Amino acid sequence: MDWRDASYEELRSRLDWPVDGVIFDVHENAFWPASWGQRPSGRVEAERQARRHLDRVPTLVPVYSHRYLPAAPAIGPSPVLSVYQADVIYYGEDLSDYVRNEFGEGHRQHFPDTVVHRIDFWSDLVEGIDL
């Protein structure tokens, strides 16, 4: 999708997609990080509390398909994240690396020779840290 020609609704949907995916996992896959405290027993209250926590995480900006860049200010280059519900991986250490991975050399998930700038919450998902 070319975001420059998209409707407001399409753009809003793409911006909401990462959080909506996590909410899907809250409902359907028992996703509930320890840092969020005790999970409410009711579906509606669990979603309300999850969204309250997710309101504090950096917004992700769509790049291509389900690849996203964090909108948060960064000290250095920001990683491109592949986000599908709460399944998140680094897809590039920065935008140029992402383009090589996606459209050139092929994907590499681990970046042993570089330090990837951490993004609150999203990097924890990548690294399997129990939030």
Q: What residue segments make up the domains of the chain, in order of their start?
A: 3-127
Determine the residue type at 71: A
Query: Are the C-beta atoms of residues 79 and 93 closer than 8 Å to each other?
Result: yes
Cα distances (Å, whole numbers) of residue 25 to 6, 20, 88, 117: 27, 9, 12, 25
Would you say 7 and 20 are in contact if contact means Cβ atoms under 8 Å apart?
Answer: no
* Residue 130 confidence (pLDDT): 73
What residues contact 41, with CB distance under 8 A and at least 6 apart? none
Please tell me the predicted confidence (pLDDT) of residue 45.
98
pLDDT at position 74, please?
Answer: 73
Q: Which of 119, 13, 16 is nearest to 69 (CA)?
A: 119
- Tens of pLDDT along 96-120? 888 888 888 665 555 555 557 889 9
Backbone torsions φ then ψ of 26, nearest 5 degrees = -60, -45
78 within 8 A of 69, measured Cβ to Cβ: yes
- Cβ–Cβ under 8 Å, residues 46 and 39: yes
Whole-model pTM: value is 0.87
List beta partners, residue 1.
none
pLDDT, residue 106, reads 62
Per-residue pLDDT of the chain (131 residues; tens, 9 = 90+): 566 788 889 989 999 999 999 999 999 999 999 999 999 999 999 999 999 999 999 999 999 889 999 997 777 789 999 999 999 999 888 898 888 888 886 655 555 555 578 899 999 999 888 76
Q: Which helix (H) or strand (E) holds 90?
A: strand 87-92
